[in-house]
Amino acid sequence: MSEEPRQFRPEVILRTLQNFHVQYVLIGGLAAILHGSPFMTLDVDVCPSRVRENLSRLAEALTEMDARIRAEGVPAGLPFDRSAQFLSRVELCNLTTKFGDLDIAFQPAGTTGYQDLARDAETYEIRGVQAQVASLAGVVRSKSAANRDKDRAVLPTLRELLDRTKSREQE
C-alpha cells in the first residue's frame, strides 16, 4: 500500500463487499447521510453477519481491498491476519483500505449485531451498489448508546430527522 493519501471511495468499498457476497448492514455516518443527515463522514461502517461462510467472504473482500489496521502515525496501516478465524474472534476492526477507511463492528453499541440491525434495514442504491442500510431509528439507537462526543454532536439533528420521518409516516 502506498504512503500517498487515498481518495475516499465508499462506493468501491461497498461494491467489493457486494462482489464477494458479504452480508452486512451499513451503519454509522454513511447510513445517517443516506437518511438525510447533513454531516459528512470519511469512513464506511458496517456490521457483518457472523455466519462462518460470511466471515470467509469478508476475509476475501478485505484481502482484495488490501485492508490493514488503522494506526495513528502509520498512514498505510498495519498488516493483520485477514482470515475468517481472526474475524470470528474480534468485535471491532478499524481498517484502512486502498479505497479509504472501513470500520467493522460486529456488535455496534445499543444493538445485538447483524440480525438486530437487518430486521428493519432498508435497501439503498449507492452509485449502482445495492446496500442494506440500518434504519434511521437503528442509527440513532446505536449512536445514543455509544455516547461519544462526535455522536452526541449529531444526535439532535438525527433525532429531528427521525421525528420528521415518523410524522410523515403517520400522515
Query: For 105-132, what is each residue's pLDDT tens digit?
Result: 999 999 999 999 999 999 999 989 999 9
Report yes or no on 4 lying in a domain: no
pLDDT of amino acid 49: 98
Question: Which band of pLDDT confidence, cut at 50, 70 and 90, is reported for residue 80?
Answer: very high
**What is the arithmetic mean of pLDDT over 93-100?**
97
Question: Rounded distance, CA 58 to CA 48, Å?
Answer: 8
Residue 167 confidence (pLDDT): 81
- Measuring CA to CA, which residue among 143, 98, 94 is closest to residue 117? 143
**Position 1 confidence tier, pLDDT thresholds 50, 70, 90:** very low
Q: Residue 36: inside a domain, yes or no?
A: yes
Residues in the chain: 171
More confident residue, 46 or 171: 46
Q: Is residue 170 part of a domain?
A: no
Q: How far is CA 110 from CA 15, 18, 49, 142, in A?
A: 27, 26, 17, 5
pLDDT at 2: 44
For residue 35, the domain's CATH number is 3.30.460
Q: Is residue 107 part of a domain?
A: yes
CB 47 within 8 A of CB 135: no
State residue 170's pLDDT score: 79
Cell of 53: 461462510
Q: How many CB atoms lie within 10 A of CB 161?
A: 18
Domain housing 123: 10-163
Max distance between CA atoms of the chain, in angstroms, equals 53
pLDDT band at 33 (very low <50, low <70, confident <90, very high): very high
What is residue 152's predicted lDDT score, i.e. its pLDDT? Answer: 95
* Nearest in space to 17 (alpha carbons), one of 114, 132, 142: 132
What's the per-residue H, E or C state across 112-140? CCHHHHHCCCEEEEECCEEEEECCHHHHH
Looking at the structure of the chain, the number of domains it has is: 1
In a domain? residue 82: yes
In the structure, what pLDDT confidence band is assigned to residue 5 with cuts at 50, 70 and 90? low
Record the cell numbers describing residue 7, joined without a space. 481518495
Average pLDDT for 29-54: 96
Rounded to the nearest 10 degrees, the angle between the axes of helix 136-146 and helix 149-170 is: 150
Cα 161 from chain centre: 20
Q: What is the mean pLDDT of the chain?
A: 94
Residue 119 maps to a domain: yes
pLDDT tens, position by position, 146-162: 999 999 999 999 999 99
Q: Grid cell 467472504 — which residue?
A: 57
Instruction: Classify residue 144: in a domain, yes or no.
Output: yes
Domain assignment present for residue 28? The answer is yes
Query: Look-up: residue for cell 452509485?
Result: 127
